[in-house]
């Protein structure tokens, strides 16, 4: 089968990563490439690495430009996807890489993003309990946020198995590409290089309610999440350290068994051998999450460390994985598991 695909927001980081993956997808033909302020320019001005598409002109992001495709990826700023999606027919698979359709609770949406809740779509992390079944054959996909992807995959098995109390602490180091391509003074190289800094501290980051939603569903009760993101001097990647108080007598071997049972058959989630810890460099460009789990007996806490590429598994790779499920293709089609190193 040949799947005709459009990418809205093609000049941004997420749009560029989508196109990098789609170029090697054996079932895809790339159609319209659209942008906002960059409409009228060549794609190569923004993504010179995408040589096969470098001479393609970016058009305005309108429903008219996106109609007539089998799949439309919306790599747009938060709050911009819902209006476009509403103009596309039910026959089109729409994959929203923004936050518009991730949250179940309308009050959470209004609190964290403002305005009316645009509705909830099937959630785009196939490895979470029940998610894969909801994604198969769907026409609408809400791609997960990059932090919730790795953090949820790191903690859900422990909560689902009752290993830990519903009180989770997440500290996640990330590269600057997670903030998008718009110019921001605090992301200039002179500000970032040689420095690490926190942001969104004290429950202020918009991905917090998404984590709570995912973890609470796994636990069967409300989970408290304390999330601190850390900006590091690197372009891409997330390293998340997640911990929670143990519930009962659990050792590292028992915890590892839970994780190996949960992810043993997953092609993109890998529990590393004992003594090997995740590092962001191992996941760059790959649609993978690397995990390691241990018990801190003195603190009485489970500690899980996860690494991913925020642009690949954390956004574009997860989006293509969900497209494959929605179309009935093998889930792994066109998705790399080997990272780029050194």
Summarised one tens digit per residue, pLDDT across range 141-163 is: 999 999 999 999 999 999 999 99
Cβ burial 45-80 (10 Å sphere, 16+ → b, else e): ebbeebeebeebebbebeeebbeebbbbbbbbebeb
| 10 and 67 fall within a common domain | yes
Is the same domain home to 113 and 223? no
8 with 122, same domain? Answer: yes
Are 292 and 319 in a shared domain? no
Whether residue 101 is found in the same domain as residue 152: no
Catalytic residue among 97, 146, 242, 322: 146
173 lies in some domain: yes
Structural domain contains residue 332: no
Examine the pLDDT at 185 and tell me if it is beyond 90: no
Confidence of residue 238 (pLDDT cuts 50, 70, 90): very high
pLDDT at 190 over 80: no
pLDDT in the model for residue 192: 78
8 A C-beta contact, residue 283 and residue 341:
no
Residue 193's pLDDT is 82
pLDDT confidence tier of residue 1, bands split at 50, 70 and 90: confident
pLDDT tens readout for residues 90-101: 999 999 999 999
Residue 181 has pLDDT above 90, yes or no: no
Number of domains into which the chain is organized: 2
Give per-residue pLDDT as tens, 34-91. 999 999 999 999 999 999 999 999 999 999 999 999 999 999 998 999 999 999 999 9
- pLDDT at residue 187, rounded to an integer: 66
Question: For this structure, is 146 an active site residue?
Answer: yes
**41 and 89, same structural domain?**
yes
**Rounded mean pLDDT of the chain?**
95
Does 66 share its domain with 196?
Answer: no
* Residue span of the structural domain in which 102 resides: 3-143+313-327
Q: 311 pLDDT exceeds 70?
A: yes
The pLDDT score that the predictor gives to residue 70 is: 98
Instruction: Let me know if residue 336 belongs to a domain.
Output: no
The reply to whether 293 and 319 lie within a common domain is no
Distance CA 136, CA 327 (A): 7
pLDDT range class, residue 271, cuts 50, 70, 90: very high
Same domain, 33 and 175: no
Q: Is pLDDT of 183 > 70?
A: no
Tell whether 130 and 261 lie within a shared domain.
no
Asked, for residue 318, whether it belongs to a domain, the answer is yes
Confidence of residue 310 (pLDDT cuts 50, 70, 90): very high
Separation in Å, CA 61 to CA 32, 43, 156, 169, 276: 9, 14, 37, 39, 45
Does pLDDT of 112 surpass 80? yes
Tell me if 168 is assigned to some domain: yes
Beta strands in the chain (DSSP E): 3-8, 28-35, 59-60, 71-74, 93-96, 123-124, 140-143, 167-174, 197-198, 224-231, 238-245, 269-271, 289-296, 301-308
The CATH number given to whatever domain includes residue 60 is 3.40.50.720
Exposed, middle or buried, 247 (CB in 10 Å: 0-12/13-18/19+)? middle
pLDDT score of 290 more than 90: yes
For the domain that residue 289 is a member of, what is the CATH number? 3.30.360.10
300 and 161 housed in the same domain:
yes
Give the mean model confidence (pLDDT) for residues 228-256.
96
205 shares its domain with 291: yes
Instruction: Measure the N-to-C terminal CA separation of the chain; round to a whole number of Å.
Output: 36
């Amino acid at each position: 089968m040949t799947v005709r695909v459009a990418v809205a927001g093609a000049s941004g980081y997420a749009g560029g990563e989508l196109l990098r993956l789609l170029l090697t997808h054996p079932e895809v033909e790339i159609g319209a490439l659209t942008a906002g302020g960059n409409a009228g320019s060549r794609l190569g001005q923004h993504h010179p690495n995408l040589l096969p598409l470098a001479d393609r002109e970016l058009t305005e992001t309108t429903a008219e430009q996106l109609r007539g495709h089998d799949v439309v990826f919306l790599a747009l700023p938060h709050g911009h996807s819902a209006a476009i999606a509403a103009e596309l027919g039910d026959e089109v698979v729409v994959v929203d890489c923004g936050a518009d359709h991730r949250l179940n609770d309308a009050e959470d949406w209004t609190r964290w993003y403002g305005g009316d809740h645009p509705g909830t779509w099937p959630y785009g992390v196939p490895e979470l309990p029940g998610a894969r079944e909801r994604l198969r054959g769907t026409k609408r996909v809400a791609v997960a946020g990059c932090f919730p992807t790795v953090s949820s995959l790191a903690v859900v098995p422990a909560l689902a198995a009752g290993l830990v109390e519903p009180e989770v602490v997440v500290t996640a180091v990330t590269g600057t590409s997670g903030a998008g391509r718009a110019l921001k003074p605090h992301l200039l190289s002179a500000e970032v290089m040689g420095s690490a800094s926190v942001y969104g501290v004290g429950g202020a980051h918009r991905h917090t309610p998404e984590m709570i939603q995912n973890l609470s569903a796994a636990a069967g009760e409300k989970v408290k999440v304390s999330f601190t993101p850390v900006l590091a001097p690197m372009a891409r990647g997330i390293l998340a350290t997640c911990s929670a108080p143990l519930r009962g007598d659990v050792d590292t071997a028992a915890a590892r068994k839970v994780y190996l049972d949960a992810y043993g058959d997953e092609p993109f989630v890998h529990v590393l051998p004992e003594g090997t810890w995740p590092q962001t460099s191992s996941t760059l460009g790959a649609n993978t999450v690397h995990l390691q789990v241990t018990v801190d007996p003195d603190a009485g806490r489970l500690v899980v460390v996860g690494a991913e590429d925020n642009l690949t598994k954390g956004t574009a790779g997860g989006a293509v994985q969900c497209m494959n499920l929605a179309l009935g293709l093998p889930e792994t089609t066109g998705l790399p598991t080997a990272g780029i190193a050194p």
